[in-house]
Amino acid sequence: MVMWRRVKVLAERIIKNAFRESELGKILYIILPFKFYALSFWVPPLIGIIVVSTKARRLSDKALTGLIAHELCHQERYRKMGVLRYYCFVLKYTFSQKARIEEEHEVDRMTVRKRFAAELHELTLITHASKSHKKIISNYLTPDEIVQYAQKEGLWNSNGNETAGSKNQDSFK
């Protein structure tokens, strides 16, 4: 399956299971070559854009689901901010490391709360092992922090896997 199609199919499944379409609005998916895995922005008020790197082709469906779920959480947060707060956020995110850490940590926690702990964990094992990600990796939760947070929220069972959103589609509609 071509990458764009793969992203689209996974995104539709994730949205159906864990998001309200009215809270996301229209989202455009773009595949481009760049050095990290994905990024998200909003063109208020009409459209959200998720850019996925061609690098993500090498990810399993499970890890790619973690990546897309994380990006969709950004999108939901952007919409909730509203236009003015969103522009302020973009400025802060661009210039402040502290703001980047706050946003990325909260989005990782939100991804766990939406029941993609196992998928996010799978992705994070890969990104944290990658040398080219050293600089930005401190913005995100570590694999251990994901497990700890998921356990605290009761979203990590003893196998660490079976509560995953993609596997248990009917339990959280």
Binding positions for Zn ion, rule: CB under 5 A: 104
Nearest residue to 90 (alpha-carbon basis) of 49, 149, 61, 125: 49
| Residue 87 C-beta: closest distance to Zn ion, Å | 18
CB atoms near residue 103 (< 10 Å): 17
- Cα–Cα distance measured from residue 161 to residue 158, given in angstroms and rounded to the nearest whole number: 8
Number of H helices and E strands in the chain, helices first, is 8, 3
Q: How far is the CB of 107 from Zn ion (least distance, A)?
A: 5
Give the rounded distance of the alpha carbon of 26 from its chain centre.
17
Is-cis flag, bond preceding 45, omega within 30?
Answer: yes
Name the amino acid, one letter, at 108: D
Closer residue to Zn ion, CB minimum distance, 104 or 122 = 104
Nearer to Zn ion, 36 or 153 (CB): 36
Taking the least distance from each CB to Zn ion, the nearer of 76 and 104 is 104
**Shortest distance in whole angstroms from residue 171 CB to Zn ion:** 26
Choice between 104 and 119, CB closer to Zn ion: 104
How far apart are CB 100 and Zn ion at their closest, in Å?
A: 9
